[in-house]
């Protein structure tokens, strides 16, 4: 019965998509906080990595799609390596970004980049940002 509730209620369509893309089961998280305590950019996030997992479990994935966190994440994999439950948190972050990007929602608009400032940015950084942050 409980599994049925999760399947039809909390595990909504959006979360199923996140789990399909990431290959992770968010319900394995027991909120130890190891992921967040090791994240080097957590102070710039509006939702911490462990909160991403908790909100996902509550069926509140829409809030994560609207968050700064998924764009701030640098994909350093620290969270994934620290999780005692073997959850690849970075892949979950990536899944949320991917859903936005597939909808044409990105973090930066290439047309609005200051060309003069771009000359001071290493090309590899620009290419990386374009791939990761533009829809």
What is the maximum alpha-carbon separation in the chain? 60
d(CA 25, CA 18): 9
When asked if residue 95 is in the footprint of ligand SF4 (CB under 6 A), the reply is no
- 53-92 mask for ligand SF4 (x: CB under 6 A)? x-------------------xxxxxxx--xx-x-x-xx--
Judged by beta carbon, residue 78 or residue 100, the one nearer ligand SF4 is 78
- 15-34 mask for ligand SF4 (x: CB under 6 A)? --------------xxxxxx
Question: Which of 15, 18, 35, 99 touches ligand SF4 (CB under 6 A)?
Answer: 35
CA distances from 118 to 34, 41, 66, 73, 132 (A): 36, 23, 27, 22, 17
CA angle 69-73-83, nearest 5°? 100
Residue 79's closest CA among 33, 39, 51?
39
How near is the Cβ of 73 to ligand SF4 at its closest, in Å?
3
When asked if residue 121 is in the footprint of ligand SF4 (CB under 6 A), the reply is no
The binding site for ligand SF4 (CB under 6 A) comprises 29-35, 38-39, 41, 49-50, 53, 73-79, 82-83, 85, 87, 89-90, 93
């Amino acid at each position: 019965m409980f599994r049925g509730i999760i399947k039809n209620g909390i595990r909504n369509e959006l979360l199923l998509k996140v789990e399909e893309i990431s290959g992770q089961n968010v319900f394995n998280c027991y909120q130890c906080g190891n992921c967040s305590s090791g994240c080097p950019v957590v102070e710039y996030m509006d939702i911490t990595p462990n909160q991403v997992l908790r909100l996902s479990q509550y069926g509140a994935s829409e809030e994560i799609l609207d968050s700064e966190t998924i764009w701030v994440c640098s994909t350093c994999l620290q969270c994934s390596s620290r999780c005692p439950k073997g959850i690849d948190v970075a892949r979950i972050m990536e899944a949320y970004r991917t859903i936005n990007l597939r909808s044409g929602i990105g973090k930066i608009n290439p047309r609005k980049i200051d060309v003069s400032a771009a000359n001071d940015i290493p090309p590899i950084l620009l290419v990386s940002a374009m791939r990761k942050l533009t829809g």
